[in-house]
Amino acid sequence: MFLSSVGFSVVMMSIWPYLQKIDPTADTSFLGWVIASYSLGQMVASPIFGLWSNYRPRKEPLIVSILISVAANCLYAYLHIPASHNKYYMLVARGLLGIGAASTDEAQVPQGNIDQVAVVAINVLFFVTLFIFALFETIITPLTMDMYAWTQEQAVLYNGIILAALGVEAVVIFLGVKLLSKKIGERAILLGGLIVVWVGFFILLPWGNQFPKIQWEDLHNNSIPNTTFGEIIIGLWKSPMEDDNERPTGCSIEQAWCLYTPVIHLAQFLTSAVLIGLGYPVCNLMSYTLYSKILGPKPQGVYMGWLTASGSGARILGPMFISQVYAHWGPRWAFSLVCGIIVLTITLLGVVYKRLIALSVRYGRIQE
């Protein structure tokens, strides 16, 4: 799990610069599809591997998934070699990585009178939680490159440090939130986490009269020049640092909103990252905790499968949503819509608040 998380974080920080480097025709809209393809592959393959493991030895789907992952990583590592259509090869590689990461856990059907409204509500809350953080991870690199004129290397390094710090923050929160939940309850903490995340995205809204640096030089058409085999070999020997130093920085003029959208100050961004990093693990943990209590002590395989599927769906739609909105309308519209989604989620939580109780509490076996 640790190695998987490390690999995922490394890819998330470097995928946008890598995509720009191997195929200049790719834009932030396509970035969303590339990131979403991983979760799409995982969501499609999970039930197939699960069914396979029910009728055959479990090591068979495990070995196949490992082989697919190895092949996908090899493809991803050499995406710069083809002369054209490199972005589509990346799309395929990410999809195969998702297939290789598919779960093979067996599912059991729980029995008992479970509150289905509460189950659906938690699935929606969990979906929104992962949706929000997936889109934040997706947009963090192009956002900082546009707003602060960071180079690709700087964006990968600085954002990697930021996410690492958020990981440490999450560990501390996981250790402390359990004690806090005993005093005020999981529902109240979940509500507080959503409010903190909303404040984080609200702070990200652009304001003021200062505008980002415009990348006037980065104008190109969608044609792909013919590349000879010799040019490919020479390109492989060129230093990546030389290309990074030559690439213009700033907010691309191809994004019309760069001309009229104020810059998001670095202090805004860092404050927002801290708040989102605070609220996300709280919402994630409380969603799991409440879901488990609502289901009770019965086998939870199928219901947990639904929760996993909702999370995979969120990781598919989140990157697609933010990349499309950001590319066409900019951060003001993107983060305003996210704030609206969170408000609707808080409203849903308020409506079902009294139903999000443990199965044993519902039937009076213990008091809440």
Q: Which residue has the higher pLDDT, 38 or 339?
A: 339
Please, which pLDDT band fits residue 10 given cuts at 50, 70 and 90? low
- The C-alpha atoms of residue 89 and residue 166 are separated, in whole angstroms, by 31
Residue 44 within a domain? yes
Between the ranges 40-44, 135-139, 357-361, where is the mean pLDDT highest?
135-139
Reported as type and span, the H/E element at residue 253 is none
At residue 45, does pLDDT exceed 90? no
Does 41 reside within a domain?
A: yes
pLDDT of residue 59: 76
Q: Are 183 and 290 in contact (CB under 8 A)?
A: no
- Looking at per-residue pLDDT, the higher value among 170 and 223 belongs to 170
Q: What angle, 0 to 180 degrees and rounded to 10, lies between the N-to-C axes of helices 301-352 and 266-295?
A: 110
- What pLDDT shows up at residue 129? 94
Query: The domain that contains 229 carries what CATH number?
Result: 1.20.1250.20
The DSSP 8-state label assigned to residue 255 in this structure reads S
Residue 234 is predicted with a pLDDT of: 44
Most confident of 76-80, 143-147, 252-256: 143-147
pLDDT at 103: 57
**Do 168 and 355 meet the contact criterion of CB atoms below 8 Å apart?**
no
Q: Is residue 107 part of a domain?
A: yes
Give residue 88's identity as a one-letter amino acid code. Y
Residue 368 placed within a domain: no
Given this model, what pLDDT does residue 237 score?
Answer: 46
Most confident of the ranges 134-148, 227-241, 295-309: 134-148
Query: Which residues 6+ apart lie within 8 Å of 169 measured at CB?
Result: 274, 277, 278, 281
Q: Is the pLDDT of residue 110 over 60?
A: no
**Domain membership flag for residue 367:** no
Q: Give the residue from 40, 94, 4, 11 showing the smallest Cα distance to 312.
A: 40
pLDDT of residue 197: 96
- Poorest-pLDDT segment among 157-166, 221-230, 260-269: 221-230
d(CA 279, CA 261): 27
Q: Which tokens is 251 given?
A: 């907010």
Rounded CA separation 161/169 (Å) = 12
pLDDT band at 326 (very low <50, low <70, confident <90, very high): very high
Which residue shows structure tokens 């989140």?
Answer: 318
Q: Which domain holds residue 70?
A: 2-362
Distance CA 291, CA 285 (A): 10
Degrees, nearest 5: CA angle 344-345-349: 120
In a domain, 272, yes or no: yes
What is the average pLDDT score of the chain? 80
Relative to beta strand 214-215, strand 251-252 is: parallel
Number of domains in the chain: 1
Average pLDDT of the segment spanning 19-27: 82
Residue 311 located in a structural domain: yes
- Residue 266: band (very low, low, confident or very high) from pLDDT cuts 50, 70, 90: very high
Pairwise CA distance, residues 318 & 206, whole Å: 21
- Answer yes or no: is pLDDT of 152 > 80: yes
**Confidence (pLDDT) at 238:** 47
Rounded to whole angstroms, the Cα distance separating 205 from 331 reads 7
Would you state the pLDDT for residue 218?
44
Higher pLDDT: 45 or 71? It is 71
Residue 346 resides in a domain: yes
Strand partners, 252: 215
Q: Nearest Cα to 137, choosing from 7, 270, 9? A: 9
